[in-house]
Amino acid sequence: MKKFGLTLLTAFAGGALALGVYKFAENKYDQGMSFEDKQKVYFASNRSNAPMVSSAGAADFTQAAAEVTPAVVYIRTTYAAKGSGNQDQFEQMFGQMFGQRMRPQGPQMASGSGVIISPDGYIVTNNHVVAKAEKITIVTNDHRQFEAKVIGTDPNTDLALIKINATNLPIVKLGNSDAVRVGEWVLAVGNPFKLTSTVTAGIVSAKGRSINIIGKDDDDDQEQNPFGPVTQQTPTLRKGIESFIQTDAAINPGNSGGALVNTAGELIGINAAIASHTGSYEGYGFAIPVNLAKKVLNDIKKFGSVKRGYIGISFADLSDPEAAQGLKTDKTNGLYVNSLVEGGGAEKAGIQPGDIITKVEGNTVYESSDLQERVARLQPGDNIKITVLRNGSEKNFDVTLKAEAPVAKSAALSKSASELFNKLGASFQPLTAAQKTKFHVNSGVLVTQVRAGGIFDDTEIPVGSVITSINKQPINSVEDMDNVITNLKNGRLIITGYYPNGGSFSNVFEIQ
C-alpha cells in the first residue's frame, strides 16, 4: 500500500513538473508565435468531439455556425462631430455601404464586425471600420463589453488589428484561402444593420476579384483613404492590394470586418465590401483572403506595421479590353509593364518596359490580383520568379523584393487607457539592443506607424522615432504605456524621446 501511495505521489509530482515546464515554455515563446501557431496550440487543447464535415461536404451549416458565431464581435466606433467634409463626401460616393453611420449633432457613430483570432484578445477587422475612431467598443457574443485599442492598420489591404484586455476568448480557426474553390458553400457571419450574430449562406462565385475600391497612392489622401478615386490615365506604383473572394452570401452594411467561413468552420476571408447600387445587398459581397490577412496581421503584431516587399513596376492590366487596345496588343491576359522604379527589384533583375508579365511562380497571371496578392504575402528580401513575354518568347527572372521607406499614415483618437492609446495614433515595438546602443538609451519603444489625426501626427513625431518615457516613467513595451496613461494626473501627458536623426524632444499634452 505504501508502495502504491509512493508511486501515485511520484506520478502527481511528475505531472505537476511537466505542467509547470509547459506553462513556462508557453509563456516564454507565446510572444514570438504567429497567430497560426497560437491557434494550433489552442485547438490541440480544445478538441471538439463532434465530427467535422468537409468543406465541400453536405450543406449542413449548423456546426460551423455554432463554432464561429461566439468569436465574431460587434464593433461600435465613435467619431468627433464634423461638418460636411471628406467624411460626408465618402458617404455620398459609396452610399454608406461600409457601416451604419448616423448624423446627430454630437459625436458620430458607426458599427461593424470583427473576428477574434487569438484567445488573449486580438481581433481582425477592416481598416475602414476603425479608421479615425476616437473610441472603439467591442461587444462579444455573450454581451460583454470591452474597449479596444488599435495595434496597427494596413490601408493597402483594408485590414486592421485591434486588441481588448481579455483572456480565454473563443476564436475562429484560420483556414486556407488558396484551397477555396468556386462553387463551394460558405457562411458570412457578422452584424448587418446592428443585427448581431447574423449568419447568411451562399457559394463562392469567384476568386482573385479586383473591384478597384482600394486606391493607388497618388497622394497623401489616397494612402489615407483606401477607397479614394482610381484613375487609369497616368501609370503609378500601385499599392492597393485586391484579390477578393466573391460570394453571393448576403453581406450588408455592418458586416464589414466579419467572418467568411467554409462549412468546416474555418476562416477563409474577412468581409470587406459589397457591389451595390443602393448600399445594401444586391447579389455579391467581397472578402479579403485569409492567407493574405495572416501575413499582414502577423507583421502588425510583431513589427507594429506591415513589412512589405515591392517589385517596383507600374503596369496595365490586359484583361481590360480598353487597356489592351490602347497598348496595341492582342494579348487578353497578363500585365503590361509601363515603367520601372529606379533601383527597384524588377529593374535590377532585368525586366524592361514593354514586357508582359505572364506568370508568377509558374502560375498564369490573368489579372493584377494574381501578381499583387502573391507579392503581398512576402517580405522585403524574398525572391519571386517572374515570367515575361518579350519579343514573342518567354523569359524568366528572379526578382528580389525591395523594401520601401516607412511612411507615416492612418488614424485613431480620447479617457480610458484604450482611448488614450488610440489618441496617440501610433504603433510601437520594443527596442532591440542595437537600437538602444544607437540612441544611447536603456529603455524605449520604436514608433513603427503613425496614423493621421492622432497626437503623434499632429506633433510630427515620425516613424523611426524612439519614445523613452511617458510622464517620466521609463517605457519598454505597449504594456508599460498602458500602465502610465491609465494613471494620468491632471490630464497631462509628457512624452519624451528621440527623433530618427538623434535629436531629442519632450512634448506636453493636455488631454481633454
Rounded CA-CA distance 371/333 in Å is 12
DSSP string, 137-178: EEE-TTS-EEE-EEEEEETTTTEEEEE-S-SS---PEE--GG
| Nearest partner of 382 among 437, 345, 416, judged by Cα | 345
| Cα distance between residue 355 and residue 298, in whole Å | 34
Rounded to whole angstroms, how far apart are CA atoms 35 and 117? Answer: 7
Please give the grid coordinates belonging to residue 82: 464634423
Known catalytic residue at 128: yes
Is residue 480 within 8 Å of 417, Cβ to Cβ?
no
SS3 322: helix
Q: Is 158 annotated in the active site?
A: yes
Rounded to whole angstroms, the Cα distance separating 7 from 13 reads 10
C-alpha cell at 294: 495572416
CA-based torsion, 455, 456, 459, 460: positive or negative: negative
- Is residue 440 part of the annotated active site? The answer reads no
Rounded alpha-carbon distances, angstroms, from residue 34 to 24, 146, 173: 18, 24, 13
- Of 154, 158, 355, 480, which residue is the catalytic one? 158
| Catalytic residue (one of 111, 118, 128, 480) | 128
Residue in 113, 210, 256, 368 annotated catalytic = 256
Q: Rounded to 5 degrees, what angle do the CA atoms 202, 207, 210 make?
A: 115
Burial 100-129 (b: 16+ CB within 10 A, else e): bbeeeeeebbbbbbbbbbbbebbbbbbbbb
3-state SS assignment for residue 289: strand
Cell numbers that stand for 385 in this block: 520568379
Q: Work out whether strand 122-126 and strand 108-116 pair parallel, antiparallel, or are unpaired.
A: antiparallel
Q: Which residues are catalytic?
A: 128, 158, 256
